[in-house]
Structure formats: structure tokens, C-alpha cells
Structure 1
Amino acid sequence: MSSTTNLVEQSKKLCAYAAVDNNLKPNHKIIGIGSGSTVVYVAERIGQLSNKSDFVCIPTGFQSKQLIIDNKLQLGGLEENPIIDIAFDGADEIDSDLNAIKGGGACLLQEKLVADSAKEFIIVADDRKNTGILGKGWNKGIPIEVIPNAYNKIINELNSIGGNAKVRSGLPAKAGPAITDNGNFIVDCDFGQVPASQVDELNKKIKLMVGVVETGFFVKMAQKAYIGNADGTVTTLSV
């Protein structure tokens, strides 16, 4: 592992540990656990707590379910726990208003369900994700979950409002489109840089397209973000 990789991993661990240590309170019983490389350390930290058996942890997908199990935490579901006390998740990119892009791992619907069900939603990420404007560093497009037979229709509609859309491929693991945990396709649509003032409007336009299940825009959902910097410091952002 290179020294640069080591620094990135260390920054992820530092910000994840800080997010848990500073925000997990004695009255928190239901915890949302997201997915991504930084959330690995969130689950690790919670798993180190002496009272970890007090918590019920709600996953956002297969990876986070495994994190919960691997750290010997109590696994629960949204069906039985529709109100979550606090949720931690990563992000593909964060802007100056703590709007985020998520869905690089194709779990955006489950991630948004957990975030929306949480009284408090906290993002953990390394400083490469903290660009200040969505689309500046993340150039793979906004992930959009769509029902399979609508993908061509949605691509045409996204292109008509200035996007550059394409179905996400499942290669090399799977021939054909990537399939979400919900049996849907992901369309990635590049809109270039999207200023914070325009994120909400663009998100609403996409959501109104019939056949769209959910977008990877997380608009004004996070209360705080913990950013791990390469120099070993942690930056806390809040709204």
C-alpha cells in the first residue's frame, strides 16, 4: 500500500471515528449505517463500544448489512424501525450547502430512504469529496434509478434538459446494465457543474419524469459532514 493510499485511509478512519464519537448519544438506539469505504470505519467504531448491544442498526444495502454483521452489531430493518435516531453515510461529492451526490455504488434509493428516515443525517468522507460544487470533482454523472422499461424515455428527457445520459453498464462483472438491489437500472447523467443554488430545482425536474424511481441528489438532507484531510486533521461542516 502506497504512502498516499495510507494517508487517504487514515483520513477516512479519523473522520468516521470523530463523527461517531461526537454525535452518538446515550438516547440513540436506532442507527442508520450507510455504504462506502469511509463508512467501514463508522461500523468499526460503533462495534468497539461497550454498549453496542443497545443499538439496532439499519443498513442501506448489501455492503452495509455485511458491515453490521461483521462488527457484531444488531441488524434491523426500516419496516420495524421507520424512525431512525441518527444515520451515517458517505458521499461521492459534497457542495458548500452540504448537498451531496450519492449512488456511485448503486445503493442510492436505500441510502436516501435511511437518510430521510433519520432525525439526524451525518456524512463522512475524505477531502477529495469536498469540492464545494457538485459535478466539479465527480464527473461520472448524477446516478438516477429508473424502472427498466423506461430507461430510453428517461435518457431522452434528461438529454433534453441539458444532460448527457447513459445507462450504467454492469461490466466486467455482468453483461448488460447494472441492476440495483431493487431490480432497477441506473442512468448516469452528466450536467457539468451544478451550483448549490440550482441543485434543488434540477433534482425536482428529474424526479417529475415518469419512470424515475429516485435521484442521487441528496438535497439539504445532511446536518453535518466530517471531512478527513490528508494532513491528519478533521474538518467539521454544518448547516
Structure 2
Amino acid sequence: MTETIEAAKKAAAIQAVAEHFDPSATHVGIGSGTTIVYVVEAIKDRSTNPQIRFVPTGYQSRQVIIQAGLTPIAFDSLPDNVMLDVAFDGADEVDEELNCIKGGGACLFQEKLVAERARKFVCVADYRKNQSRLLTNWPTIPIEVAPISVPNVLKSLQTIGSTNPKLRTTLLEKSGPLKTDQDFFIIDAPFPALLTSADVAAGKGKGDGTDGKWEVNRLSQVIKEITGVLEVGIFSGLNGVDAEALRVKEGSLRTVTGGQKPVAVYFGMQDGSVQVRKANE
């Protein structure tokens, strides 16, 4: 099973890079997780431009970039007017509308920064992550919070319908809560499977939690508004292409830079094939 999963990740990474990595790019975002190792390998095989700078989403992805002989640059070192040409990252689960849950590896804040700074975010995953609705197989929403706010956030999550949200601890529980690269904590919050916007339009639920069902975007917004929450591990709303169109249309009235959702998701399948799901299809 492990060999099948790793082969699926590698196949998805190779195809995603082949279709979205441009050797003439100047800045490329690199996400976190086991799948990204294969993405960086594929980029190294195709890259002919030593001037490309790679922006990692955390410590692990920075090490992968360095070990591949590529050049990392910190996110906060990017010039103000520079957008990433593309960002590659994984996901813990992806639904039919390309909404994602991320944060299983505790890098969700920097992952979202990088995704929103990219002209396009391309997601690479294996077949297990391909679900019709979020929270079908993946059990919780990761939420990055200020340590002092943990009791308040836990209580607020229970109020809006999360069953038994928990503070994530290290593998050695005696070592205490797991810390992110920002020295924040992670809360993992279970909810019933989330509705898509199409579900709400079809009358399958209100989506505002009053009937026990939350729509992806609504839940993300409500959690983000809880005092003490730095970021929510739901990647929804706009993708990079749609965000660019909105910026052109509304100009300075919009503070949005890029999109949280991928423009395409590459799922490596059990039989060695790759299933591609694209935005607006």
C-alpha cells in the first residue's frame, strides 16, 4: 500500500510540473509535505534556469529546496510588486469545487501566504485526498492560534458546532503542544462534512450552521473571526486566475492579491494514472 501511494504521489507531481512549471519563471512557491519532495525532484529535472528563486512554506520545504541544489528565498524578502509565477503544494483533502483542507503538517499559515501570492496554485495529491465533500475522510479542520487564546478558541468552536476540538500535541505528549513556525499552536476541530456552494444553491442546507451544516466559505470566515485565530486550514474562495480578473476589474478597491484555491489538482491514482481536476470545469 505504501509503495502504491508513493508511486501515485510521484506520478501526480511529474505531470503537474510538466504542465505548469516554466523554466523561464523567476519565483516559484514550494509547499510542505511528502508529495512536495517529488515536485521538487521533477522541477530539478526540468529546470535550466539557475536564477529562479523558490519560496518555501516552512522549514521542511526549505530543506527540500536546498537539498535539490535550488535557491530558496524567504517569503518576506519578496519585492512588493512580485507575484510568484506558480506555487505547488499538497492538500489533506480536496472537494468537487477544489476547496482544500490543509494544515495536517502544521504549515497552513505560510502555505496560505504563498498560495495567495501566486498567479496560480497547483495542488498535487494522491487518490486518498480526492473526496466529494471536505471532512469526508480527513477528520478535522486545522486552525493556527495564539497560545494565550486556546481556551477562548476551543469554547468558540464548540459554540459553532465543532465536536470535541483538541489542541494538537507533539508525538511525545509530555513535550506539550506542537508549535508552528510562528510559535503558535494548532487546534484540530471536527465538524460534519462541509457543504459546497452548489449544495446550498440546491437547497441541501442553509450553510450557516443553524441546521448543523456549514458551507465551506461560511465556516472558514466564521472561524477566522474568532479572536486569537491566525489562520484557518480551509483554502476556499478565489483561485489565482479569478483573483487576477477581480483585481483588473476593481483595482485598488480590492486588497486581494491571489487566490486560495488551486487552478488544478493532480491526483495520482492507484493504477498509476493521474486524474486532473481543473477550476471552472
TM-score greater than 0.5 by the shorter chain: yes
In structure 2, what is the equivalent of residue 6 of structure 1?
3
Q: How does 1:191-210 map to 2 (within 5 A)?
A: 191-197=191-197, 198-210=215-227
Checking the alignment, whether the CA contact within 8 Å between 2:23 and 2:46 is kept in structure 1 is no
* Counterpart secondary structure, 2:77: coil
CA contact (8 A) 1:39 1:89 kept: yes
Shift of 1:26: 4.2
Deviation string 1:120-165 (CA, Å, 9 cap, x unpaired) is 00000001001121000101x1000000000000000000000021
Letter in 1 for 2:102: K
The 8 Å contact of residues 15 and 126 in structure 1, kept in 2 or not, is answered as yes
- Bigger mean CA deviation after superposition, 205-214 or 164-173: 164-173
Q: Report what 2:158 is aligned to.
A: 159
Q: Over residues 54-92 of structure 1, what are the superposed CA-to-partner deviations in whole Å (9 max), with x where a residue is unaligned?
A: 311000001100110010001112223252110000000
- C-alpha distance in structure 2 between counterparts of 1:235 and 1:69, whole Å: 30
- Residue 21 (structure 2) aligned to one of 20, 24, 27: 24
- On the 8 A contact 2:30/2:87 being kept in 1, the answer is yes
Q: Distance in 2 between matches of 1:58 and 1:129?
A: 24
Which SS does the other structure have where 1:181 is aligned? coil
Residues 1:222 and 2:262 aligned together: yes
Instruction: Specify the alignment match of 1:106 in structure 2.
Output: 106
Q: Within 1, Cα distance between the matches of 2:47 and 2:185?
A: 41
Instruction: State TM-score, norm by structure 1.
Output: 0.95
2:49 counterpart of 1:47 = no
Contact 1:86/1:121 (8 A) holds in 2: yes
Structure 2 gap segments, 5+ residues each: 198-214, 238-260
Alpha-carbon spacing, 1:173–1:54, altered in 2? closer, same or farther (3 Å): farther
- Report the count of equivalent residues: 235
For the structure 1 residues 50 and 207, does the alpha-carbon distance in structure 2 shift closer, same or farther, using more than 3 Å as the test?
closer
Q: Is the 8 A contact 1:135 1:194 kept in 2?
A: yes
Counterpart Cα distance in 2 of 1:126 and 1:204: 28
CA distance in 2 between counterparts of 1:120 and 1:144 reads: 24
Question: How big is each residue's C-alpha offset from its partner over 1:76-125, in whole Å with a ceiling of 9 and x where there is no partner?
Answer: 12223252110000000000011000000100001110001101000000
1:78 maps to 2:95 = no
- What is the aligned-residue RMSD (CA, Å)? 1.2
- Give how far 1:50 is off: 4.6
1:214 partner letter:
E
1:50–1:185 CA distance, 2 compared to 1 (3 A): closer
1:148 aligns with 2:147: yes
**How many angstroms does 1:166 deviate by?**
1.1
1:182 is matched with 182
Residue 196 of structure 1 and its aligned partner are, at CA, apart by: 1.8
> For 1:223 and 1:12, how far apart are their aligned partners in 2?
18
The alignment-based identity, stated in percent, is 43
Contact 1:145 1:212 in 2 (8 A): yes
User: Is the Cα contact below 8 Å between 1:87 and 1:122 reproduced in 2?
Assistant: yes
* AA partner of residue 159 (structure 2): S
Q: Distance in 1 between matches of 2:174 and 2:110?
A: 22
Q: If the length of structure 2 is used for normalisation, what is the TM-score?
A: 0.81
- Structure 2 counterparts to residues 131-146 of structure 1, below 5 A: 131-139=131-139, 141-146=140-145
State whether residues 55 and 75 of structure 2, in contact with CA within 8 Å, keep that contact through their aligned partners in structure 1. Answer: yes
Decide whether aligned partners of structure 1 residues 174 and 44 sit closer, same or farther in structure 2, where only a CA change above 3 A counts. farther
Residue type of the alignment partner of 2:31: G
User: 8 Å contact 1:162–1:191 — kept in the other structure?
Assistant: yes
Residue 234 and residue 21 in structure 1: after superposition, are their counterparts in 2 closer, same or farther (change >3 A)? same
User: Structure 1 or 2: larger strand share?
Assistant: 1
Distance 2:36 2:222 in 1: 30
Contact preservation (8 Å) 2:23, 2:47:
no
Assess if the C-alpha contact under 8 Å between 1:58 and 1:77 holds in 2. yes
Which structure 1 segments of 5+ residues have no match?
none
* Contact 1:36/1:90 (<8 A) preserved: yes
Q: CA deviation at 1:8?
A: 1.1
Name the residue aligned to 2:247.
none
1:229 is aligned with what amino acid?
A: M
Structure whose alpha-carbon radius of gyration is higher: 2
Give the CA deviation at 1:21. Answer: 0.4
